[in-house]
């Protein structure tokens, strides 16, 4: 069935980044989802987002004097939000019930983006629920397996029930990574009731309406839970609809060599794949790894970015001359400087070459990658006449002790050998991201090749004429960056960074005309902006239509 207003695509995702201050996102997954629903709205494509609204208990990042990350409560109350509105039906707030041995009530808020595009955010933080369900959405990616499963059940079961209550009949259910996988239970239950078929047959029919996108090969995005824990919730749901427990979970059971412990495991990625008729990776390189690891019938749709959000409007004008292009870049560098001063109290000379690195902090992204030889780095970035300013930003997930320690270690370097030329900017959010991808000169991207499924921050930098200095991972493997940036050696990251910075990046940036403009650099900026056109999120949406939704 082709998507149309009466039969939209239901796009399920645990994150949607729609506002810097609303705690409905944690990182790139949410940013992508937010960009996609914006594109759907602008293209008048019928798409309904289903997400979760968290209370943001750990949403705000603070850095102590010792360089330690601490998390603070965002203090967000959806009832006071100017962006979100409580979902009502015939003048009364909508609540749906999930039967999991006890009645769990799910309320919803909505963000209407266009005539056929709305995002619904679910919550169980209402008076009708017990404390354990009210607290389930305190924060995303936090608080243990039991809380994570509760969140996924709210998203999947509550989301499908909400659509039914509102009279929305999806043509396709799109699971944006594995966390929405339990939605298949409720889709099948509804089919069984409407078509008077067995639940087992209904599961087969449900599969024809579900598609899935994988976003990472990292274990943190392909969670495997203790089977006993999953059975505990599945059994309660199975009893409520009078079906065999094994019908609900058998497709998610991991082979012994795939489990994360000696106990039997239930994999949400395995279950989402088994519940879907089609699956996509998010880049060509990621596709190759998915085929090798998961097998099966895969295709790929490379992620993109919403240009209206991430590209400064002046860079979208191809008629702008070189001098105006450079002048606009200088103004954006000044805007970023002001933001850095406001957040940290520290400034820098914006005439320096400014190198930015900003994203969620995880081992494979190599936040510490360029600090292997701090003394050498110090000499490079403090060289008279060609100084460098390094700006780093990013959050560690709650409980990620290694990432927290990495932040502390790097801030220690910034207070010592790199003092005056390196700053960590706290509380990385949508607002800071927009200013960084447009206000630095070089975008540094350092993931281990094969572990960053796609990445989109570098695409945003491209769109603003910021040159990429990156390993050849994710989207980068699909383009030729030779005229718009530089490729780092994945196996010798630090050495490659030091050498390229010294021999190529700095000479090109500081080679100025009589008017003070780096002509060769500006040419690369223009090439970068042109290259970014292939990563417009509207192309991603079109590819979804052809490869998933038809």
Last residue of a domain, one of 276, 299, 319: 276
Max Cα-Cα span within the chain = 80
Residue 191: name the closest of 243, 140, 230 by CA.
Answer: 243
CB of 174 within 8 A of CB of 238?
Answer: no
- Continuous H helices in 296-321: 307-310
Is the domain of 181 the same as that of 34?
yes
Residue 355 lies in a domain: yes
Q: Is 392 helix (H, G, I), strand (E, B) or coil?
A: strand
pLDDT of residue 257: 61
- Continuous H helices in 156-274: 159-165, 183-195, 199-207, 227-241, 245-249, 268-274
Is the domain of 52 the same as that of 189?
yes
Cα–Cα distance for residue pair 284/203, rounded to 1 Å = 31
Last residue of a domain, one of 276, 295, 316: 276
pLDDT of residue 27: 87
What lies within 8 Å, CB to CB, of 529 at 6+ separation is 315, 462, 463, 464, 465
Residue 228 lies in a domain: no
Residue 240 lies in a domain: no
Question: What stretches of 418-511 adopt beta strand conformation (E)?
Answer: 422-424, 442-445, 467-470, 485-487
Is the domain of 213 the same as that of 312?
no
Last residue of a domain, one of 276, 294, 315: 276
pLDDT of residue 107: 98
pLDDT of residue 260: 46
Strands 95-99 and 103-114: antiparallel
pLDDT of residue 259: 46
Range of the domain at 39: 9-56+83-219+272-276
Q: How many structural domains comprise the chain?
A: 2
Is the domain of 188 the same as that of 322?
no
- pTM of the shown model: 0.95
Residue 16 lies in a domain: yes
pLDDT < 70 positions in the chain: 1-2, 257-263
In this predicted model, what pLDDT tens digit does every residue of 478-489 receive, in sequence order? 999 999 999 999
Beta bridge partner(s), residue 107? 95, 123
pLDDT of residue 319: 92
Residue 13 lies in a domain: yes
Torsion of CA 301, 477, 37, 300, to 10 degrees: 10
Residue 117 lies in a domain: yes
What lies within 8 Å, CB to CB, of 259 at 6+ separation is 224, 265
In this predicted model, what pLDDT tens digit does every residue of 51-82 receive, in sequence order? 999 998 888 899 999 999 999 999 889 999 88
CATH number at residue 170: 3.40.50.2000
């Amino acid at each position: 069935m082709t998507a149309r207003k009466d039969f939209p695509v239901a796009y399920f995702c645990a994150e949607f980044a729609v506002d810097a201050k609303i705690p409905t996102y944690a990182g790139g997954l949410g940013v992508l989802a937010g960009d996609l629903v914006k594109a759907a709205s602008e293209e008048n494509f019928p798409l309904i987002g289903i997400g979760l609204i968290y209370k943001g208990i750990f949403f705000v990042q603070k850095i102590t004097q010792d360089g330690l990350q601490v998390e603070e409560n965002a203090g967000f109350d959806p009832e006071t939000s100017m962006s979100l509105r409580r979902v009502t039906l015939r003048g009364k707030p909508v609540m749906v019930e999930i039967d999991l041995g006890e009645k769990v009530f799910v309320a919803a808020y909505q963000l209407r983006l266009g005539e056929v595009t709305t995002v619904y955010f679910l919550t169980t933080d209402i008076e009708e629920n017990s404390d354990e369900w009210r607290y389930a959405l305190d924060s995303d990616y936090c608080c243990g397996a039991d809380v994570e499963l509760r969140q996924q059940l709210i998203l999947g079961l509550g989301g499908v029930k909400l659509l039914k209550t509102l009279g929305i009949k999806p043509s396709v259910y799109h699971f944006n990574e594995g966390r929405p996988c339990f939605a298949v239970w409720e889709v099948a239950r509804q089919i069984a009731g409407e078509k008077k078929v067995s639940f087992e047959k209904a599961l087969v029919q449900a599969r024809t309406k579900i598609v899935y996108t994988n976003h990472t090969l990292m274990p943190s995005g392909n969670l495997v839970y203790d089977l006993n824990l999953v059975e505990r919730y599945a059994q309660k749901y199975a009893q409520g609809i009078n079906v065999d427990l094994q019908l609900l979970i058998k497709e998610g059971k991991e082979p012994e060599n795939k489990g994360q412990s000696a106990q039997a495991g239930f994999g949400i990625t395995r279950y989402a794949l088994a519940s879907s008729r089609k699956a996509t990776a998010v880049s060509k390189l990621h596709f190759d790894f998915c085929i090798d690891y998961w097998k099966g019938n895969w295709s790929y749709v490379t992620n993109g970015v919403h240009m209206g959000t991430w590209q400064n409007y002046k860079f979208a004008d191809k008629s702008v001359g070189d001098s105006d292009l450079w002048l606009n870049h200088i103004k954006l560098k000044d805007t970023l400087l002001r933001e850095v001063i406001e957040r940290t109290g520290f400034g820098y000379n914006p005439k320096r070459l400014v190198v930015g690195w900003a994203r969620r902090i995880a081992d494979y992204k190599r936040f510490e990658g360029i600090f292997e030889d701090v003394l050498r780095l110090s000499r490079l970035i403090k060289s008279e006449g060609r100084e460098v300013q390094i700006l780093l930003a990013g959050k560690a997930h709650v409980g990620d002790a290694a990432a927290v320690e990495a932040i502390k270690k790097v801030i220690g370097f910034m207070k010592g050998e790199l003092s005056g030329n390196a700053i960590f900017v706290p509380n990385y959010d949508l607002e800071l991201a927009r200013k960084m991808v447009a206000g630095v000169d070089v975008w540094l991207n350092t993931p281990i090749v094969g572990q960053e499924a796609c990445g989109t921050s570098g695409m945003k930098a491209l769109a603003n004429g910021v040159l990429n200095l990156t390993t050849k991972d994710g989207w980068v493997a699909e383009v030729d960056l030779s005229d718009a940036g530089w490729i780092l050696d994945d196996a010798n990251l630090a050495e490659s960074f030091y050498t390229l910075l010294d021999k190529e990046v700095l000479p090109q940036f500081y080679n100025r005309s009589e008017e003070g403009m780096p002509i060769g650099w500006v040419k690369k900026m223009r090439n970068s902006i042109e290259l970014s056109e292939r990563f417009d999120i509207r192309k991603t949406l079109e590819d979804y239509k052809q490869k998933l939704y038809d």
